[in-house]
Amino acid sequence: EAEEEAQRLLRAAEILKRDLDEAASKCDTLTEEEKEIFRSFPDEIEELEKEISLIREDIGRLGVANNRLRELEQCRAQIKELQEKVGDGADVMNIHREKMQAIKTKWLDGDEGQPGLRKIIETVDQAFSQMFQEMGNTGQVKLKEAKIGEEDDFIHYSLEILVMFRNADIGGGKMNQLNGKLHSGGERSVTIML
C-alpha cells in the first residue's frame, strides 16, 4: 500500500514537472534563461527535495554572511568616526601648540613695551657681572632652558649663577656654577647678596 502511494506521488510529480515545463515553454513573460532553469530541475521528487534543502542551507549561510557583513559595516563606520575624531583632535592640538608657542615667545622675548624673561635676565646679568668685577671677581647669570625631545620642559628651566673668585685655583681657573662643594659659605653669601 505504501509503495502504491509512493508510485502515485511519483507519477503526480512527473505530471506536475511536465506541466511546469509545458507552462514555462508557453509563458511569454519568462526569459530563455528562466525557461532553462525550469528545465534543469530534477525529475524525481526526492531530487527536488534535496535541491530545496541545499538552497535552504545556502540561504541560511547567506543570513550568517549578511550578519557578518552588517558587523563589518558597523566596524568600518566606527573606525571612520574615530579617524575623524583623531583628525579633529590633531587640529585642536595644533591650534593649542601654536597658542603655546605664542605665549612662550611673549614670555621669553617680550612684546610691545614689556621685556621678556631673556631681556630681564640679561639686565640682571650685566648688573651682576659689573658688581662682581668691581670686587675683583667674575660672575654671570644666565637662563638654562630645558627640553624633553622637541618639547620645552618649563618646569626644569632654571637660572644658573656662574662665578670665579680671586682664588682662581678653585674650579680650575674657570667660572663654575655656584654650589656648596666648590664655594665657601662666604662666597655663596656674597654672590646671593649681589
- Residue 169 in this model has a pLDDT that exceeds 60: no
* Range 9-33 average pLDDT: 69
- Residue 18 in this model has a pLDDT that exceeds 80: no
Residues written for the chain: 194
Does the CA dihedral 165-170-171-177 come out positive or negative? Answer: negative
CA angle 185, 186, 192 (to 5 degrees): 90
* Range 30-58 average pLDDT: 70
Higher pLDDT pick, 105 / 193 = 105
Contacts of 34 (CB under 8 A, 6+ apart): 24
- Mean pLDDT, the chain, integer: 76
Return the H-helix or E-strand segment holding 115.
strand 114-115
The per-residue pLDDT for range 73-97, each reduced to its tens digit, is: 787 888 788 777 777 777 888 888 8
What per-residue confidence (pLDDT) applies to 76?
Answer: 80
Long-range contact pairs involving 36-45 (C-beta distance under 8 Å, separation at least 24): 41/17, 43/14, 43/17, 44/10, 44/13, 45/9, 45/10, 45/13
What per-residue confidence (pLDDT) applies to 132?
Answer: 83
Q: What is the DSSP letter of 180?
A: T
Residue 108: closest CA among 121, 117, 95 = 117
- Residue 25 in this model has a pLDDT that exceeds 70: no
Higher pLDDT pick, 155 / 19 = 155
What per-residue confidence (pLDDT) applies to 142?
Answer: 92
The CA distance from 165 to 171, in Å, is 10
The CA distance from 79 to 85, in Å, is 10
What per-residue confidence (pLDDT) applies to 35?
Answer: 66
- Residue 41 in this model has a pLDDT that exceeds 80: no
What per-residue confidence (pLDDT) applies to 175?
Answer: 82
The per-residue pLDDT for range 110-147, each reduced to its tens digit, is: 888 888 888 998 998 898 889 888 888 888 999 888 88
Contact 53/46 with Cβ under 8 angstroms?
A: no
What per-residue confidence (pLDDT) applies to 86?
Answer: 73
